[in-house]
């Protein structure tokens, strides 16, 4: 036996590793196998890197929903880990740094050493300050950390077997170096058809430093993006708190690109809302307020019995018989109200409206910004439609931007039917980028009795039947200026 073979055999015997058998040799050949020493069965509490006190003042079951969320996020990426590993990672990020350090066990296994390296990393203090006491951000930190060190295809049993191997006592202090212990990890990860851990898995302190630094950057991005999205949504919903699963940390972790897209839509909506809010003239606001709250612009003759409540004081002072005669003969004087410009906006919410209109502003963001501005300034009613049509609140408009999906078609006929049921005194604005179904006869009927402005956005093109309405071709935000769409 050569010197190299002797050294290899000595290392294998020391670590209890079974040498590989060369299948090319005859089966009757004598191959001496080093017997792997029996390993004591450890409980989950013993395998954990933390003392049980880490959970105080609650029981461990209190944190299980959050831990399950981390586990599910990893499972969707085909990474299976034992519950105690996921629990350790979550608690390291959720608890404050002092509690983490106080409850950290003296590392006896490879997994416990990994957590010890995590906690001792210089950037972990900064990272812990971001995630402490925030279940969602702790989930983000735990998920990104575990995802950084385990690869796709990891199985819970494999990870458990490999990382609960005890560190040789004479190598505990030198585990961070490229020594026998770290080489052992590399050897273990080479076993099987598909390695379980990153290969080679030599967790030097420098490796952990880079992992923690990357996780810190990712968690900070998550926090910033979620806060920005929720703040914008809250402002657009009337300043009240706004919660929606599409703006959660979990959604960001599951579909980061989708989340970033929704933030862009919200930014565009806020920009459009501010743009159109300043564009609504004071004259328009005053006319609506007068009409709604009793502003008077002059005196006129009573034409309708509904105007009786506006009879001037002089008429009310007359004897009842004389007043009745003047009313019947339409000679009674009444207060004249301002003409209302209170509009009704119908906004297309089909999937194609999520495409860009101008710069970073999408079609639906532009339309929603106009609708919200008119709602705030002129008390406008807002309807959303695709193949169906329904009235919504300002908060519903924001939710629509967060859930806009694949195109489901655009049926203007439903919009026209709704307009036909509404008062003829209102002004109606329809914003769309495509029309699938139109009842042309209905369009002509509505045009005779209602004031309708049809705003068409490319790729929608003008058709003959549209000419019964006022048509505005929209290629930029300026084409949606209220002064162009509303007539008094």
pLDDT for 271: 92
Omega of the bond leading into 484 within 30 degrees of 0 (cis): no
Percent of the chain with pLDDT over 70: 74
Same domain, 96 and 184: yes
Q: Is residue 367 part of a domain?
A: yes
Q: Which helix (H) or strand (E) holds 207?
A: helix 205-236
Same domain, 329 and 391: no
Q: Over 80: is that where the pLDDT of 210 sits?
A: yes
pLDDT for 476: 92
Structural domain boundaries enclosing 314: 296-337
Once rounded to an integer, what is the mean pLDDT over residues 79-100? 94
- The string of pLDDT tens digits covering residues 253-291 is 888 888 888 888 889 989 999 999 988 865 565 555 445
Same domain, 145 and 191: yes
Q: Is residue 323 part of a domain?
A: yes
Q: Which residue, 474, 437, 439, 434, is CA-closest to 453?
A: 474
Which of 202, 220, 238 corresponds to the end of one domain?
A: 220
Pairing mode, strands 451-456 and 427-432: parallel
- The string of pLDDT tens digits covering residues 369-420 is 999 999 888 889 999 998 888 998 877 777 776 776 645 678 889 999 999 9
Domain count, the chain: 3
Judged by average pLDDT, the poorest of 76-80, 205-209, 407-411, 437-441 is: 407-411
Q: Is residue 118 part of a domain?
A: yes
Same domain, 333 and 348: no
Pairing mode, strands 296-301 and 333-337: antiparallel
Average per-residue pLDDT for the chain: 78
Same domain, 58 and 188: yes
Which of 220, 248, 268 corresponds to the end of one domain?
A: 220
Once rounded to an integer, what is the mean pLDDT over residues 125-150? 92
For 269, residues 6+ apart whose C-beta sits below 8 A from its C-beta are 232, 236, 365, 368, 369, 372, 398, 401
For the question of whether the overall pTM of this predicted structure is more than 0.75, the answer is no
Q: Is residue 243 part of a domain?
A: no
Q: Are 285 and 343 in contact (CB under 8 A)?
A: no
Same domain, 159 and 177: yes
Same domain, 360 and 461: yes
Which of the pair, 74 or 311, is modelled with greater confidence? Answer: 74
Pairing mode, strands 381-385 and 343-348: parallel
Same domain, 185 and 51: yes
Same domain, 304 and 385: no
Same domain, 57 and 174: yes
Same domain, 87 and 177: yes
Q: Over 70: is that where the pLDDT of 106 sits?
A: yes
Q: Is residue 355 part of a domain?
A: yes
Catalogue the long-range contacts made by 17-25 (C-beta closer than 8 Å, 24 or more residues apart).
17/184, 17/187
Strand, helix or coil for residue 423: coil
| Dist. CA 74–CA 151, nearest whole Å | 10
Which of 220, 247, 264 corresponds to the end of one domain?
A: 220
Same domain, 323 and 455: no
pLDDT for 298: 67
pLDDT for 55: 93
Q: Is residue 440 part of a domain?
A: yes
CATH of the domain at 366: 3.40.50.410
| Dist. CA 457–CA 472, nearest whole Å | 9
Q: Is residue 59 part of a domain?
A: yes
């Amino acid at each position: 036996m050569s010197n190299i073979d002797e050294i290899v055999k000595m290392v294998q015997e020391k670590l209890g590793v079974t040498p590989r058998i060369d299948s090319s040799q005859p089966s009757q050949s004598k191959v001496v196998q080093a017997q792997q020493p029996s390993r004591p069965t450890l409980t989950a509490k013993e395998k954990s890197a933390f003392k049980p006190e880490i959970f105080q003042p609650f029981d461990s079951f209190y944190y299980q929903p959050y831990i399950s969320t981390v586990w599910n996020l990893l499972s969707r990426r085909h990474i299976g880990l034992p519950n105690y590993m996921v629990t350790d990672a979550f608690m390291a990020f959720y608890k404050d740094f002092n509690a983490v350090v106080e409850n950290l066990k003296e590392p006896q296994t490879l997994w416990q050493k990994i957590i010890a390296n995590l906690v001792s990393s210089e950037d972990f203090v900064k990272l812990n300050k971001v995630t402490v006491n925030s279940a969602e951000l702790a989930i983000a930190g735990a998920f990104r950390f575990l995802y950084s060190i385990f690869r796709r295809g990891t199985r819970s049993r494999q990870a458990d077997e490999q990382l609960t191997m005890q560190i040789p006592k004479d190598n505990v202090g030198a585990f961070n170096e490229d020594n026998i212990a770290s080489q052992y990890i590399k050897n273990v990860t080479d076993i099987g058809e598909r390695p379980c851990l990153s290969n080679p898995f030599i967790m030097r302190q420098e490796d952990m430093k880079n992992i923690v630094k990357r996780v810190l950057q990712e968690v900070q991005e998550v926090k910033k993006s979620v806060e920005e999205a929720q703040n914008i949504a809250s402002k657009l919903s009337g300043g009240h708190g706004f919660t929606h699963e599409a703006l959660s940390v979990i959604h960001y972790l599951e579909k980061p690109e989708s989340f970033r897209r929704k933030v862009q839509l919200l930014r565009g909506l806020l920009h459009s809302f501010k743009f159109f809010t300043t564009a609504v003239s004071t004259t328009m606001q005053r006319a609506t307020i007068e009409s709604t709250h009793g502003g008077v612009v002059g005196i006129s003759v009573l034409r309708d019995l509904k105007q009786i409540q506006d009879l001037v004081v002089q008429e009310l002072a007359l004897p009842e018989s004389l007043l009745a005669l003047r009313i019947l003969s339409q000679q009674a004087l009444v207060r004249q109200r301002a003409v209302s410009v209170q509009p009704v906006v119908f906004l297309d919410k089909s999937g194609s409206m999520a495409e860009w209109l101008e710069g970073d502003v999408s079609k639906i963001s532009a339309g929603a910004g106009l609708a919200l501005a008119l709602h705030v300034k002129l008390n406008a009613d807002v309807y959303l439609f695709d193949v169906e049509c329904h009235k919504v609140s300002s908060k519903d408009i924001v939710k629509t931007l967060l859930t806009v999906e694949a195109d489901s078609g655009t049926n203007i006929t439903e919009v026209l039917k709704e307009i036909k049921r509404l008062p003829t005194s209102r002004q109606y604005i329809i914003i769309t980028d495509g029309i699938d179904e139109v009842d042309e006869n209905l369009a002509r009927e509505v045009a005779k009795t209602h004031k309708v402005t049809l705003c068409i956005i490319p790729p929608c093109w003008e058709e003959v039947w549209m000419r019964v309405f006022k048509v505005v071709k929209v290629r930029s935000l300026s084409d949606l200026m209220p002064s162009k769409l509303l007539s008094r």
